[in-house]
Amino acid sequence: MANEVVYAGIGDLRVAEVLGQEYLLLISDRNALPNHPALLYVGDISGRGSSTIKVPHIGLMGYDLLAQTGDGSLVANTALADGSTTVAVARYSKSYEASDLAMLTDAQNLINPQAFAMDAVISGAMTLTSLIADVVDGFSTTAGSTGVDMTVANFLTALGFLEVNSQGAIGAGQAMALLHPQQLADLRQSFASASGGSVQWSQDAANALPIRGNGYRGQIFGVDVFSSSKVPTANAGADRAGGMFVKGGLLWADGSAPVTYGEQVNIGGKLLFERDRTAKAGTTAFVTHGYLGVAKGLDLLGVSIITDA
Predicted confidence band of residue 1 (pLDDT cuts 50, 70, 90): very low
Phi, psi of 221 (to 5 degrees): 50, 35
Predicted confidence band of residue 203 (pLDDT cuts 50, 70, 90): low
H or E, element range at 157: helix 152-165
Give a yes or no: residue 32 inside a domain. no
Give a yes or no: residue 287 inside a domain. yes
Give pLDDT tens digits for 81-119.
Answer: 999 999 999 999 999 998 988 888 887 778 888 999 999
Give a yes or no: residue 235 inside a domain. yes
Give a yes or no: residue 29 inside a domain. no
Give pLDDT tens digits for 51-73.
Answer: 999 999 999 999 899 999 999 99
Better pLDDT: 266 or 243: 243
Give a yes or no: residue 20 inside a domain. no
Give pLDDT tens digits for 175-190.
Answer: 999 999 999 999 988 8
pTM of structure: 0.85
Give a yes or no: residue 173 inside a domain. yes
Give a yes or no: residue 6 inside a domain. no
| Rg of the chain taking only CA atoms, in angstroms | 26
Which pLDDT value is given to residue 130? Answer: 95
Give a yes or no: residue 133 inside a domain. yes
* Owning domain of residue 176: 93-309
Domain count, the chain: 1
